[in-house]
Amino acid sequence: MASIRRHYTLHLVASLLCILLSYTLMLYLFIYISDKRWVITSFVALGISIAWFGRTVRFPIRQLRIFLGAIRGRDRTMRLPLSRDPLLGEANRDMNEILQLYWAEANELEWRKKYYDRMLRVMTHELRNTVAPILSLTSDVLSRPDDYDHKRRHDCFIIINEQAEGIDRFLNSYHQLTNVPEPVCRHIVVKDLFAKLGRLLRSETGQCELELNASAGMRLFADPHLLTLMLINLVRNAAQSLDGCADARIEVRATLADGVPYITVTDNGPGIPDNRLEHVFEPFYSTKKNGSGIGLALAHQIMMVHGGNISVSSQPGVRTTFTLQFVER
């Protein structure tokens, strides 16, 4: 098997030649030399050649069965072994790429399902909590109208209005998360983008030292409006986490690694505990006391519509880094 994997094309051509030669020899011996021993020998050689050819031809089928088995068994780590053979090697590389794309899509679908399941649970919870006081209050007013004078009714209307405004704010946040527009991408000079970002944010970061660095001449293919919105959210989040910290510092850095553009946003704040890291991009989840849980979920959505990725790493008490990975252009 190992020999076929390394030299599949050679085995295929050699077995075909052996079949052709064995068949030709068998006919020649049968017609011109009436020696049964030689005819039988050539017939056996033909059978061996056919078996060799059949074994060679079935090898890619076995590979395909392994490929299908990995999908059916949900084995996300299985990859077909690489081969230098021009035919088999290319086929295995293609099947491995299909597996990678398939599992990447499956992972994305699973994340989306969890994302929207959580969003639905949060929506149900928030709406129930907001509507319950309205129902209770209006039911009481309807059942005991004589107990409510003009002032008490006015107070009831104020409470109902506040609850309705809460619902409206929540639904606006939901709309913002689920209606990220398709990006209108163009090539952006990152230094120019960072200069604009600095002008917008320096007054908001307060005592935090804000440092923006980009590789000379670095460009990104992205929607400048969505990218600016995302970076503002990330820097604001970092600044809020640094509130009250001594020597507070935020660094936004753009780099190229093997042709792939990255932007990192790092702060030296208290960090995020390990048990919360996996939830930070979920909608309405916040590590801050009065946080909305919108900013990071929106950043994730923006990176998704760009075909990129966002990740976070944190060493509590040392640093927290959000990494934006863009598509290579």
Indicate the fold that domain 186-325 takes in CATH: Heat Shock Protein 90 (3.30.565)
Q: What is the pLDDT of residues 232-247, one digit of tens each?
A: 888 888 888 877 777 8
- Percent of the chain at pLDDT > 70 equals 88
pLDDT averaged over the chain?
A: 79
Q: Where are the domains of the chain?
A: 2-78, 108-178, 186-325
Locate 60 and state its tokens: 């890619």
Q: Which CATH number fits domain 108-178: 1.10.287, 1.25.40, 1.10.3470, 1.10.150?
A: 1.10.287
Res 64 pLDDT > 80:
no
Mean pLDDT calculated for residue range 5-24: 77
pLDDT of 1 strictly over 70: no
Instruction: Give pLDDT, residue 285.
Output: 65
Q: Is the Cβ–Cβ distance between 269 and 320 less than 8 Å?
A: yes
For the stretch 194-209, pLDDT in tens is 888 888 777 766 677 8
β-pairing, 249-257 vs 260-267, is antiparallel
Model pLDDT, residue 286? 65
What integer pLDDT is reported at residue 78 of this predicted model? 73
Average pLDDT over residues 39-68: 78
Cα–Cα distance measured from residue 23 to residue 47, given in angstroms and rounded to the nearest whole number: 10
Q: State the amino acid at position 34 in one-letter form.
A: S
Other beta carbons within 10 angstroms of residue 4's beta carbon come to 20
Residues above pLDDT 90, as percent of the chain: 4
| Averaged pLDDT for residues 62-79 | 76
Residues 267 and 241: beta-carbon distance below 8 Å:
yes
The predicted model scores a pTM of 0.56
- pLDDT at res. 176: 67
More confident residue, 173 or 211: 211
Q: In this predicted structure, what is the pLDDT of residue 264?
A: 93
Task: Give CA–CA dist 36/43, Å, rounded.
Answer: 10
Query: What does the pLDDT read at residue 263?
Result: 92
Higher pLDDT, 116 or 263: 263
pLDDT per residue over 255-294, tens digit each? 888 888 899 999 888 888 888 877 787 777 666 655 556 7
pLDDT at 173: 67
pLDDT of residue 206: 66
pLDDT at 26 over 70: yes
Strands 249-257 and 219-222: unpaired
Residue 138 has pLDDT above 70, yes or no: yes
* pLDDT score of 321: 92
